[in-house]
């Protein structure tokens, strides 16, 4: 791996996304209507310059924006981002995309999410992590529930995505719940 590694897991590495790296695959993910079906970013086409500016903004804004790379072949398969949404209340928001369809359903998303959860709670000392999930995004709410998130609220018709209004399922995980889960894992 010739990229700097920020967090390392069993099957994946989380690395900063270099805006000057080959972005052709990443561009194909975010311009793919199926991939972005449940995301807020898919309504308008994105070109390379916009994507480079978006990546630069992530680091300027001090978001924990990381590419997900498979350890076996250094392939960029998706991204995960932790936004610190409230410094005062120690709260963050997580968003994830496994853009490479062939890489879905192999546990990479869950591993990336667990790495970012640990980083958020243990390194950044956050107290709560949140996530927004569309009600029919089965893969996404399975993923967050598997990582220990609980459904906290349904915001009705919160988003207009792909020509229809969608509810926003608000998921949350508290630091103390995470620590309890960790205790359970080592028993």
Ligand X SMILES: CC(C)(COP(=O)(O)OP(=O)(O)OC[C@H]1O[C@@H](n2cnc3c(N)ncnc32)[C@H](O)[C@@H]1OP(=O)(O)O)[C@@H](O)C(=O)NCCC(=O)NCCS
Residues that bind ligand X (CB under 6 A): 35, 38-39, 78, 96-98, 104-110, 133, 137-140, 142-143, 146
CB of 88 to ligand X, least distance (A): 25
Which residues have C-beta within 8 Å of that of residue 52, sequence separation ≥ 6? Answer: 19, 20, 23
CB of 137 to ligand X, least distance (A): 5
Of 17 and 88, the one with the shorter C-beta distance to ligand X is 17
Instruction: Tell me the residue nearest to ligand X as measured from the CB.
Output: 109
Strand pairing partners for 168? 155
Kindly write down the DSSP assignment for every residue of 45-103, as one continuous string.
---HHHHHHHHHHHHHTT-EEEEEEETTT--EEEEEEEEEEETTTTEEEEEEEE--GGG
Residue 108 C-beta: closest distance to ligand X, Å: 4
The answer to whether residues 94 and 111 touch, using CB atoms and an 8 Å cutoff, is no
Kindly state the smallest distance separating residue 184's Cβ from ligand X, in Å.
16
**26 vs 108, which CB is nearer to ligand X?**
108
3-state helix/strand/coil string of 119-130: HHHHHCCCCEEE
Comparison of 23 and 77: residue with beta carbon closer to ligand X: 77
CB nearer to ligand X: give 121 or 140.
140
Q: Tell me the closest approach of the beta carbon of residue 36 to ligand X, in angstroms.
A: 7
Nearer to ligand X, 69 or 108 (CB): 108
Helix or strand run (H / E) with residue 116: helix 108-118
Q: Read off φ and ψ for residue 81, nearest 5 degrees.
A: -140, 135
């Amino acid at each position: 791996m010739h990229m700097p590694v920020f967090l390392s897991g069993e099957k994946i590495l989380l690395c900063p996304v270099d805006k000057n790296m080959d972005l052709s695959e990443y561009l194909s993910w975010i311009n793919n209507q199926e991939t972005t079906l449940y995301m807020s970013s898919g309504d308008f086409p994105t070109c390379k310059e916009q994507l480079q500016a978006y990546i630069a903004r992530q680091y300027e804004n001090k978001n924990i924006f990381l590419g997900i790379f498979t350890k076996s072949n250094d392939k960029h398969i998706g991204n995960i981002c932790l936004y610190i949404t409230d410094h005062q209340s120690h709260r963050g928001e997580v968003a994830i995309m496994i853009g490479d369809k062939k890489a879905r359903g192999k546990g990479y998303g869950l591993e990336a999410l667990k790495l970012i959860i640990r980083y958020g709670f243990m390194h950044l000392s956050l107290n709560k992590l949140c996530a927004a999930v569309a009600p029919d995004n089965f893969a996404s709410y399975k993923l967050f529930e598997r990582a220990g998130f609980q459904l906290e609220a349904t915001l009705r018709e919160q988003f207009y995505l792909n020509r229809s209004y969608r509810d926003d399922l608000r998921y949350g995980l508290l630091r103390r719940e995470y620590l309890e889960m960790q205790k359970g894992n080592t028993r």
